[in-house]
Structure 1
């Protein structure tokens, strides 16, 4: 049997509580978009073979090796897995989460392992900080991540270095508005991953409690209602507040001068709600799909700033897909 699995990227609007001011730390809101996708082609084989992964960095390769070893321990025999396409790494699209979850989900289907969603999530090793990617993989749309229980010894670290002792609960899900679309702009090369990402969290957290409360207000009384009511004007204002306080403000300040300047210019465009996904440098721009002037403005500004325009994508209101290849 030969199967192909497709996983969509995610946009993360920002972690919320990195001060331990509430009963749940981390938390946040994110959404799934239609591309650029991660796709694996999987088939039975005598031995285990992995193809098309030479362009991945050592961090991703190590995690893929760990997942394969876990599958071997479950008496999984041979299979051939070819990575046919994947988004850029370390830019804010949740690429590693998609890579690992889609590989496990494909082998689960190919070998009829009957793994539950939670078991697939646990095997991926993701979700130690944010639960956005591990939940959106299965359901798509817009999700509210319930984070982790706040404890006295909680250390604020990124998902790349945190062990997921508990899976962040999915508090709520909404459909991404049909008439909205998302432009993706990459102004610079990746800056934060691996040790540098871990150092950033160590230096910047815990955050002042008042900053976290302002972030909560902007996210829970701004971003979430904007998605729920498809109010683009509310979304634009809410994202501006998110980026002016808390961790997202620190993430933005840590970017290169080019990324900061480019972000501010996109943020100033009317009828477009812009944000920095995760630790950047990816800028996402939400606008009405019927607004051709806004799309033209995005493309023109990307060219003017020397940024890479990755395209315009719709929201994705469904999870991963597996099909016969």
Structure 2
């Protein structure tokens, strides 16, 4: 394992900045230093650093540890996980994992390492061990559940990780990983926005003879979600994701900057987002999250419906906008149709810029003990762009009698089932919805695997299953036996591939915080 040269460390830092934006000088120092991190932290915070040992075990070296320490796989190593904390605030500053081969430790050093909450650098100093540090890696990782709890952050937030070895007498004495959030030790304020995705159960009225059109029902989802952060900058720069996603964020940021007359720009990093054009509303959530971040940065208090209009969302369905604002189960009332000031034809939200989001007629908390399972097959993306526009124009208006039955299902079965927590009633309404109105059109245009998933998930015990928006995401709702439903979905996906995600409804809207 070759150590990184100074040039390679600089290159690694540049790679990191391409992912998460510009690092502060302190962050760069923590990644690249070959000295004591504990001393640096104490100088930066003005407080002493305390150590809390979370794990202290003797384990057999795996292949990775053996390579880092130049030992044989299976050799005994001391495996230690500690938190370096600010002794005054109690905040965790760095999470560190170390591995040390026992056969290279003097008895006194081993005793301090295994029994005392002492920084490794100070143990080395106490025992007068001459050593040097070799940095071997630096990169960005996602927090995950454990680190999210440790640092009290979102599990999808980006973390900075570095690996190095302490060399003594020409041999690796200790291999160490140190991890801290990208938001830690930053020079400027970052605004983080954590937004839900959503299920779009159905559009209600794509007939229009009532003088209104659209309308819909849906549910905000906890996972997969959208997480991004922003900080002030002279221009508009976007990091993370692919080029399509970055362009989408940039388009929303430009619309907000121009629409609100913001005096500056922003450096935006996307940490996580649902798969695009999968029926989960990722476009709306990314656009609104971008708008909300810029508003917080520049102290603008703008209602979510106004932000949606600025970024061109909510012109057909209001579920995504309402999910961002308040979460839960949502019923929206659609738009005026055919009259002055109303919509004049049938079209999706992406092609309805300038149309205000519809009114929210009802919002209700989704039962906490109801579970939702997503199955996303590896097939072509759901209809979008020109194709989606053509589908609306070709297949609308839908028959009025189907609109009436669909509205009856929602008003007299789906919503009462939700309010009374009768999951069988709610689920049966979901099932019936798949063969009515515009939802029937959406389902009919799917790959055969979608119908197979819906059928298999209901047969496996789900109370109800359906297609979200234009798919290809299929969802199932239940209160028990969802492991059987997940197995059934995986069997249908088979060699074709896909993702099965257990999740739940989110009864709150987007969370915005500044650090």
Normalising by the smaller structure, the TM-score range is: over 0.9
Q: Secondary structure at the match of 2:392?
A: helix
Partners of 2:235 and 2:348 lie apart in 1 by 35
Among 449, 457, 466, the residue aligned to 1:258: 449
Among 399, 402, 405, the residue aligned to 1:214: 405
Residue 192 of structure 2 is matched in structure 1 by 4
Q: With the length of structure 1 as denominator, give the TM-score of the two structures.
A: 0.92
Instruction: Note closer, same or farther for the CA distance 1:67–1:48 as it changes in structure 2 (3 Å cut).
Output: closer
Residue 68 of structure 1 is matched in structure 2 by 254
Verify: 1:32 aligned to 2:220, yes or no: yes
Residue 87 of structure 1 is matched in structure 2 by 274
Partners of 1:72 and 1:19 lie apart in 2 by 36
Residue 157 of structure 1 is matched in structure 2 by 347
Residue 105 of structure 1 is matched in structure 2 by 292
Partners of 2:242 and 2:263 lie apart in 1 by 23
Among 438, 447, 459, the residue aligned to 1:268: 459
CA-CA distance at 1:87 after TM superposition: 0.5
204-213 or 254-263, which deviates more: 254-263
Verify: 1:184 aligned to 2:374, yes or no: yes
Instruction: Note closer, same or farther for the CA distance 1:191–1:322 as it changes in structure 2 (3 Å cut).
Output: closer
Instruction: Note closer, same or farther for the CA distance 1:117–1:69 as it changes in structure 2 (3 Å cut).
Output: closer
Partners of 1:90 and 1:317 lie apart in 2 by 23
- Which digits, 9 at most, give the CA deviation of each residue in 1:243-275, with x for residues without a partner? 122111111111012222222222333343111
Q: Which has the larger radius of gyration?
A: 2
Residue 13 of structure 2 is matched in structure 1 by none
CA RMSD across the alignment: 1.8
2:376–2:472 CA contact under 8 A, matched in 1: yes
Partners of 2:314 and 2:227 lie apart in 1 by 21
Matches within 5 A, 1:178-257: 178-187=368-377, 188-257=379-448
- Which digits, 9 at most, give the CA deviation of each residue in 1:90-137, with x for residues without a partner? 011000000000000011001112223332122121111111111110
Residue 324 of structure 1 is matched in structure 2 by 514
Partners of 1:39 and 1:5 lie apart in 2 by 6
Among 113, 117, 132, the residue aligned to 2:304: 117
- Which digits, 9 at most, give the CA deviation of each residue in 1:257-301, with x for residues without a partner? 22222222223333431111111111111111xx2xx22212211
Among 329, 333, 345, the residue aligned to 1:146: 333
Residue 96 of structure 1 is matched in structure 2 by 283
More relative contact order, 1 or 2 (CA 8 Å, 6+ apart) = 1
- Give the structure with the higher percent strand: 2
Instruction: Note closer, same or farther for the CA distance 1:143–1:111 as it changes in structure 2 (3 Å cut).
Output: same
Among 21, 25, 41, the residue aligned to 2:209: 21
Structure 1 residues without counterparts, runs of 5 or longer: none
Q: Secondary structure at the match of 1:304?
A: helix
Partners of 2:283 and 2:358 lie apart in 1 by 18
2:486–2:500 CA contact under 8 A, matched in 1: no
Partners of 1:46 and 1:86 lie apart in 2 by 25
Partners of 1:123 and 1:171 lie apart in 2 by 22
Residue 308 of structure 1 is matched in structure 2 by 498
> How many pairs are equivalent?
319
Partners of 1:63 and 1:195 lie apart in 2 by 20
Partners of 1:63 and 1:109 lie apart in 2 by 16
Partners of 1:296 and 1:94 lie apart in 2 by 26
Verify: 1:42 aligned to 2:233, yes or no: no
2:240–2:269 CA contact under 8 A, matched in 1: yes
Q: Secondary structure at the match of 2:476?
A: strand
1:7–1:39 CA contact under 8 A, matched in 2: yes
Partners of 1:209 and 1:280 lie apart in 2 by 24
Q: With the length of structure 2 as denominator, give the TM-score of the two structures.
A: 0.59
Instruction: Note closer, same or farther for the CA distance 1:83–1:311 as it changes in structure 2 (3 Å cut).
Output: same
